[in-house]
Structure 1
Amino acid sequence: MSQPKVLICANPKNGIVWSKAEQSSKLGAVAQVIEFSEPDRKSFFDACKPGAKYDGVVGIYRHNDSASAIGVFDKELIEALPESVKYICHNGAGYDQIDVEACTKRGIQVSHTPQAVDDATATVGAYLTISALRQFHRAEVNLRNGKWKAGLSPASDPEGKVVGIIGMGGIGSAMARRLLGFDMKIIYYNRKEISPRPDFPCTYISSLDDLLAQADVVSLNLPLNDKTKGSFGKREFGLMKQGSVLVNTARGAVVDEEAFIEALESGKLASAGIDVYPDEPNVNPKLVAMDNITLLPHMGTETRDTQKKMEILVLDNLISAVSGKGLLTQIPEQK
């Protein structure tokens, strides 16, 4: 009996980087592995036609970097996939590049990589928080330009400051634990209070408006979808404390960027720490010109350890699925 086909849909130059041995020994033991190689969307569509290269593929390992060649997994691409496809296993906690509704209509199950990304992303969030409060970016720019402390004003200590986490999932919880080490106070807003209660000191705030009014630092840790896109805008900034800080390690598009820039320019926000942008890799020049904010180029999971954990979780999902045991970390919309 022939093995089920699995497609590794990632940048041909990279593919699976940190877990090649596991790909060969574990996935290779239960599936016929095909490497993605098409240079453009049309070529990929042609390879998905009946009798072509990807006909019979059951599962797909998907990495965001494949979008540079074939684009995102939108409705058009989902509908072009071979009829045999039953699983798309995405390397990433966020899966806004996949049209979940189109997948569900076709009976395709989707998984992602929660937990695997929590620690690395939370570390970035904690760094952005401390850098924004202490103005470390501005100080480093000064030093590199030979200005030492010239023109620098005293910044703010993290101790005693209130961090309002919007979306206390795995990343938000890991970030909270890190910031508690700086003697910060944690409040959070979710649609529902976490039960059982988290095993660290924090307070649930049932109203987003109340959280915004209380927090010195607001951290965005929510997924990007139709409901959250552009949801943090002028009204929300207006409710925040004068001179507060915004930290975003979620997705750039959850924030109304013009309202964000206006809040920075007016002084409503004293600073910000940002790792994600609406039109990556492009960054608004107005943000780049501001030396009072810390900007990173989507560094959330840019560590060898975390990328290996993510790769292995995708492989484990594929192995479980093609072995008839179902997906391990199926996205919540399909549960």
Structure 2
Amino acid sequence: MAPRVLISDPLSPAAIQVFEARGIAADVRPDLGKDKERLAGVIGQYDGLVIRSGTRVTSKILARADRLKVIGRAGIGVDNIDLRAATARGVIVMNTPLGNSITTAEHALALMFALARQIPAADHSTQAGRWEKNRFMGVELSAKVLGVIGCGTIGSIVADRALGLKMKVLAFDPFLTADRALALGVEKVELDALLARADFITLHTPLTEKTRNILSADNIARTKPGVRIINCARGALLDEEALAAALDSGHVAGAALDVFVEEPAVRSPLFGRDNVVCTPHLGAATTEAQDNVALQIAGQMSDYLLTGAVSHAVNFPSITGEEAPRLAPFVALAEKLGSFAGQLTDMEVETVTLTYEGTVAGLNVKALTAAAIAGLLRPMLQEVNVVSAPAIARERGMVVEETTRAATGDYESLITLTVVTGRQARSVSGTVFTDGHPRIVNVQGITVDAAFAPFMIHVANEDRPGFIGQFASLLGEAGINIATFALGRDTAGGDAIALVAVDSPLPVDLIARARALPQVKQVNALAF
């Protein structure tokens, strides 16, 4: 029987043509995504589901998706899909990470022009019969300083176009290397320097816990007086109330927004202002972009449904069905090792080296490296997946190296990940035991044996009496239950580490108190 796919949101007809040409039946019901009950009632009839932002794929819907093999998101964000539930049911989730890049970058530039020359307000005034030429005094973009927060694919395009306008471009991006910045023609700076120097600031970073409210009240106050702010990324990257207050005071001269904290945005403290330009999330709304993402997702889903090939999946690596059973536990290990290093790294990464020893060296290490890089980048770039991770690493000028060799130690298979930044080198090693579960066996040259857990604490300390008791007491007083406590040290009285699995996330203030303990050098809360 031919595979069937359901298209539950409006989508370019180009996608339907691709499915039909490949012998896949496509049922186009573009209003179904708005009705969860109706969608749940029919989802069991389909092998694939194509969505945009209008359909929310919940665990309840997935529970009734008995035939569903793949969900295709025609776009980048997959926050309207319950990834955990999809993964648990073996449903591949794909997106199209590159289809909207040019369109979104161009929209940011269009908003910057509109803001600089007050075009929307001037248009409204003129069409109302008022000739207020002296009211709408604009500013030139030429020779102004543009601050780009997030210099990935879209941010790089914006920077390139802005350089063509003879603007000076500053870039803040922890993953942007000096070499990549030089190639782009931008000046890599820290956030405080960008805030202080930029005449215009444009946001192009994914929304993560580290970037949420990156333009907070405090950071907006640090901006250059008269700054203009553009946001075509995610609404929660800035504090809308703080921005409104800064507009009221005159500290911020204007803002242009395509995204909002709550969407659809039917009300906002930023509405009704002549110096604010607003559009209803139009960053990807061009004919070319809609056709691009439709063609891409239809091609990817067809490949998977007909041949088993996986591309641009956010919850599964690019490996064939034959490879999956042997690779799966090592993919999990590689991704967790990357995540471990990524959660401990707060500077730009220059080099990543993956060393594969023993049996694992004979497997598809490219897929393992992609998984490791995805884990490394995800703490800052949550939308990265094992397919897009290598390209994103290259964009940022990261050098990724692989080494394979025969087993040299106690483990049949061993993966070592080493991350080099401008300040230090950090390494972590892991293996998979016979139970199929990944484990950490070495951190910074110190032998340790720890299973990964959803919530963990990494502690680096001096090996002195009393530390374990003090640290455990601190957790106990805070009501944090310890599941496991793994210890390692290089020499007696030397450097030591602890990897502690706990049953719940740690409050921020508890981390600060732990860092204040005697002998403690570093404390990090980790989540896997």
Q: TM-score, normalised by structure 2?
A: 0.55
> Which residue of 2 is the match for residue 46 of structure 1?
41
Mapping of residues 124-139 of structure 1, within 5 Å: 124-139=107-122
1:189 paired to 2:152: no
What SS does structure 1 have at the residue aligned with 2:37? helix
The structure-2 alpha-carbon separation of the partners of 1:24 and 1:277, relative to structure 1 and needing over 3 Å to count, comes to same
Q: Deviations over 1:272-308 (max 9, x none)?
A: 1111122222243542310112212222122212110
The structure-2 alpha-carbon separation of the partners of 1:185 and 1:81, relative to structure 1 and needing over 3 Å to count, comes to farther
Q: Is the 8 A contact 1:18 1:304 kept in 2?
A: no
What SS does structure 2 have at the residue aligned with 1:197? helix
> Which residue of 2 is the match for residue 22 of structure 1?
18
Unpaired segments of 5 or more residues in structure 1? 49-53
Greater relative contact order: 1 or 2 (C-alpha under 8 angstroms, separation 6 or more)?
Answer: 1
- Deviation beyond 6 Å, 4+ runs, structure 1: none
Q: Deviations over 1:230-259 (max 9, x none)?
A: 443212211211110110111223222111
> Which residue of 2 is the match for residue 51 of structure 1?
none
Root-mean-square deviation (CA, aligned residues, Å) is 2.4
Q: Is the 8 A contact 1:7 1:60 kept in 2?
A: yes
1:33 paired to 2:26: yes
Percent identity between the two aligned chains: 28
The structure-2 alpha-carbon separation of the partners of 1:326 and 1:300, relative to structure 1 and needing over 3 Å to count, comes to same
* Structure 2 residue identity aligned to 1:47: V
* Structure 2 residue identity aligned to 1:204: K
Shift of residue 42, structure 1, vs aligned partner: 1.6
> Which residue of 2 is the match for residue 247 of structure 1?
230
Q: Is the 8 A contact 2:148 2:170 kept in 1?
A: yes
Unpaired segments of 5 or more residues in structure 2? 315-382, 387-528
The equivalent position to 2:51 in structure 1, one of 50, 62, 69, is 62
* Structure 2 residue identity aligned to 1:203: E
Mapping of residues 58-137 of structure 1, within 5 Å: 58-65=47-54, 67=55, 72-78=56-62, 80-137=63-120
Q: Is the 8 A contact 1:277 1:283 kept in 2?
A: no
Mapping of residues 1-335 of structure 1, within 5 Å: 2-10=1-9, 14-26=10-22, 29=23, 31-36=24-29, 38=32, 40-48=35-43, 54-55=44-45, 57-65=46-54, 67=55, 72-78=56-62, 80-152=63-135, 154-194=137-177, 197=180, 199-205=183-189, 207-331=190-314, 332-335=383-386
The structure-2 alpha-carbon separation of the partners of 1:282 and 1:180, relative to structure 1 and needing over 3 Å to count, comes to same
CA distance in 1, matches of 2:109, 2:283: 11
Q: Deviations over 1:142-184 (max 9, x none)?
A: 2122222355153221111111111112211121222222111
The structure-2 alpha-carbon separation of the partners of 1:4 and 1:221, relative to structure 1 and needing over 3 Å to count, comes to same
The structure-2 alpha-carbon separation of the partners of 1:81 and 1:255, relative to structure 1 and needing over 3 Å to count, comes to farther
What SS does structure 2 have at the residue aligned with 1:64? coil
Pick which of 83-92 and 187-196 moved more: 187-196
Pick which of 318-327 and 212-221 moved more: 318-327
Count of residues paired in the alignment? 315
CA distance in 1, matches of 2:40, 2:178: 45
CA distance in 1, matches of 2:112, 2:242: 20
The structure-2 alpha-carbon separation of the partners of 1:18 and 1:181, relative to structure 1 and needing over 3 Å to count, comes to same
Q: Is the 8 A contact 1:59 1:89 kept in 2?
A: yes
What SS does structure 2 have at the residue aligned with 1:323? helix
Shift of residue 195, structure 1, vs aligned partner: 7.7
